[in-house]
Chains A and B, each alone.
Chain A
Amino acid sequence: MYSTDSRADFRSRVARIVGEANVLSPGGSTDFKSHYQVDGLAPALAVRPGAREEARDIVRLAREYNQSVIPIGAGTKLGIGMAPRSYDVALDITRLNRVLAYDPGDLTISVEAGCRLRDVQTLVAAQGQFLPFEPPHAADATIGGSLAANSWSLCAEGYGTPRDFVLGMEFVTGEGQLVHSGGRVVKNVTGYDLHKLMIGSFGTLGAMVSVNFRLYPLLQDQRLFAATFPSAESAFQMLHQVRTSFLKPRTLVILDPGAAALMQRSGKVFGSHPNSWILSATVAGHSAAIERHERDLKVMAAQAGGREFIVVRDEKVDETAALLREFSVKLQQERPTNIGAQIGVLTTEVFGLLCELRANAEKENFACATLFQASGPAHLTVWDDAVSTQMLEDPNNDALTRLQRMAQRIFEITNAHQGHAVIQWCPIGLKSEASVWGESRSDFTLLQKVKTIFDPSGIFSPGRFVGGL
């Protein structure tokens, strides 16, 4: 515990670095708590550095005063992870929003980590280019937050995940050192790729302050297809056909009937048959190639027993793809008493896994909806509309116990299918019972060592990650 004097001292020194206007306190703003709190815990102050060096200086001070720090972008994914062991300072990176270097001819860009992803996409689109990263929360999410959370990307089927197109990074370590890793060029084997450790580290190793990306040519012509199926077998049969063909969709997902029903309601483009499984793909590029995709996909859908084959064109494609991208987010926001899990699993295991999970949810009287991304994770949401927040807090109600049992089953079933589940969204009460990250793996000792090297005093997001890191 620290004396009030020490806190005041820390605050005034922070203000000297960033200016009084960029130090926020819980009393100062009504939005403070809702914006900066993590699992119900609010920090003593939020700091908004305006330069990368300021971020470095704040972390140095935080270390000196033993203040724990959580780096925050738009705050859209702060609910992921365990409740922090302590939380003194929110390091708000959203003023770090400058473009550091962009020569379109190089097909690379360097931006500060507080840039909104959407703004970067707009900037490069004007030059006929795009950043192949399409995570959820697209309207608000920052570069730093999306990378720290290693958010799933809708176009991963075509372009891979951030570790494939992040070329380099600058970050502030727990020792308050501003360091860089990688570079601004597409090919680089100089030194260790420390930035790969930062991707998906959920703010536990340091704070990202700038990132260099590889860009790709923007393909203007695109089309979205959706086929509806009466059974999981037929949908997965089509998935197999697509994956063993020469076709190159940029996105490829399967929706279970729970997800299909919700999409049919909101999008109106995913067919009308109730209780359907849906396979959806988007393609982009030369018109002849798009036509070929349409032709082949239609045949594959028919052969697999598809009911409907829907084609979405032109500007409707982005709109419809956005529904898929934001699907789980929307579901979670609308149903705060649910469990949202991201499950990494082999393509061959998905079918069995989803069937078991759905059967279990049904047995426990939960509704469920799943979006599975080919060669990526499955996103499962489980909920009971009859359960309210009050019921979860009532010790005499079994609502929380039921959710706990379901979470337990998600881990068990996923493990049995050689996958790994992360509970990304759940009532806070659930987090005190078990780790949302599942069990640690054989490399955990090495993860601990990495944490100690980057953040020896343990000031960054303490306790939030795998195994209490």
Chain B
Amino acid sequence: MNEKLIRELQALLGTEHVLHSEHELRLYEYDGSIETARPDAVVFPGDTADVVRIVKFANRRDIPLVGRGAGTGLSGGALARHGGIIVAFTRMNRILEIDAENQCAVVQPGVVNSDVSLAAAPFGLHFAPDPSSQRACTIGGNISENAGGPHTLAYGVTANHVLGLELVLPEGGIVRTGGNAPMVPGYDLTGLLVGSEGTLGIVTEATLRLTRSPEAVETLLAIFDTVDDATQSVVDITARGITPAACEMLDGWTLRAVETWAHAGYPMDSAAVLLLEVDGLLEAVGPEAEAITDVCRANRAREVRRASNARERELLWKGRKNAFGAVGRLSPTYYVQDGVIPRTKLPETLRRIAEIGCEHGFEIGNIFHAGDGNLHPIILFDARKSGDRERAIAAADRIIEHCVSVGGVITGEHGVGMEKDRLMPLLFSDVEIALMSRVRDAFNPRHLLNPGKIFPTGKGCGEIRVRPSHQVTRSSLHSSAGFGSSSGRV
């Protein structure tokens, strides 16, 4: 970006709120993904009026704008793929209101996720979405990517906890959507905006739902000799009427990697560990923990451990929380994938992932949210070796294709970003992508907001398109009058 433009930006926002030197910009060419892209400038708005100034400035000069929180995203969402200005929300980090009585909070986008829960804790409330990066990641980023986390099984993802937004549009207009009162008449723009990856507008304020914190929590760790037994336990727990707050699984390879470093107490020869949490009333969690123990034992669990206090709970979570750190010690670089499958397809999918690893010459570990079928295969590769990165991406693509073929999707909580834009045709027809693209045009007609994300650009996307296999329904379930049966993809 030329010096004249930098001087204009500095005049708009103050010299100290504009970064433009080579070494400063380098810090902003990364996020949590394996992609990089360098911006031309980084600006730090202090309020909505600053954002409007920036947006108008960029719009007049056709400069791309990319919002950024903490840069912990895993799909390149906060990277300036086509250059331009990164709008970093570091300064807009105030919690404007905690409204305990109406169980909501009004925050600026730069507020750190876990800070909302900290501020709400004195009222017995918390913000439910808890991505692994929750001590760093920001609400603005959570909203852009529709972030999840281990406890979304019972509590839902970010979209379920955002009630309203203030938004700056590319021409500088300010719009409010939704609100804290329920049942706003009109199309649910808030629902559309959450997860739109910064391509529709720049969020400058959010009204969040706060959730009552539970009275009691029970955490269990079950150790299995086969993945199938662990998976069957997940299905059987539901059949007992229990919706766990969290239900995480580590496969054998991953638990061994974790054990070697973090000493979480996992037997090195086991095939899967299941980490389960139930919460609620004191009277409810005890019997639920008992029932879960029974189910796991009935499915040949080698051992079921149960924690009732915070220290023991921390110990059981230790392995899960340190898993990525442990993997980091085994390999200079690794690639975390994010596919989703119907959860009954877990065993066959894990077998397929192992095969894909063999075919491409990688070790692939699996950590996943077993309750909702959200997989995080971890592909270990060495970015310094020529061709390794490309092969890792090819292996990841095969995994994602498999997820789609069994009725799943290409990303559960990391976002499409610049990582999976080319995979969008796996799930969506040209007509469907065109419809989404027209929605983007309505908000962001000149594609200046986060360009190069979500939408596939290159030609030949159709070549990788596969149609998922048709799910055959169980005809025995359709005996009730008025129901026919058929199969098909939806």
Which A residues lie at the B interface, using CB under 8 A?
Answer: 97-103, 105-108, 110, 115-116, 119, 122-123, 126-128, 150, 152, 160-161, 163-164, 168-170, 173, 177, 179-181, 183-194, 196-197, 199-201, 205, 210, 212, 216-220, 240, 243-244, 246-248, 285-286, 288-289, 291-293, 342, 344-349, 375-377, 418-420, 422, 437-438, 440-447, 449-454, 466
Contact = CB atoms under 8 A, between A and B. Distances in A.
B156 interface: yes
10 contacts: A102-B473, A187-B372, A187-B412, A189-B195, A194-B192, A197-B188, A200-B186, A217-B240, A292-B283, A443-B177
Contacts, number: 296
A187 B157 contact: yes
Interface stretch (B268-276, B351-359, B438-446): B438-446
A402 B181 CA distance: 28
B364 to A, nearest CB: 20
A201 B187 contact: yes
Interface residues of B, number: 103
B396 to A, nearest CB: 15
A101 B175 contact: no
B472 to A, nearest CB: 9
Contacts of B176: 441-443
B27 interface: no
Nearest to A185: B340
B122 interface: no
A164 B483 contact: no
B280 A217 contact: no
Contact of B477 (A99, A216, A376): A99
Contact of B373 (A127, A185, A200, A285): A185
Given A186-B153, A190-B424, A444-B186, 19 more contacts: A103-B471, A107-B238, A115-B482, A119-B480, A119-B482, A187-B148, A189-B146, A189-B412, A197-B188, A220-B241, A246-B215, A288-B283, A348-B99, A375-B182, A377-B182, A445-B175, A446-B189, A453-B438, A466-B185
Interface string B398-436: 000000000111111111100010001001110111011
Contacts of B240: 217
Interface in B182-208: 182-189, 191-192, 194-196
Contacts of A191: 416, 424, 427-428, 432-433, 436, 454
Contacts of B186: 200, 440-441, 443-444, 447, 466
Given A119-B482, A216-B243, A244 B490 contact: no
A128 B241 contact: yes
B387 interface: no
Contact of A217 (B184, B196, B241, B487): B241
Interface of B: 99, 101-103, 124, 145-146, 148, 152-153, 156-157, 159-160, 174-177, 179-189, 191-192, 194-196, 212, 214-215, 235, 238-243, 280-284, 286-288, 340-344, 369, 372-374, 407-416, 420, 424, 427-429, 431-433, 435-436, 438-440, 442-443, 454, 471, 473-474, 477-478, 480-490
A348 B183 contact: no
Contact of B214 (A177, A189, A246, A292): A246
A419 B489 CA distance: 40
B286 to A, nearest CB: 8
Contacts of A247: 281
A169 B183 CA distance: 21
A138 to B, nearest CB: 15
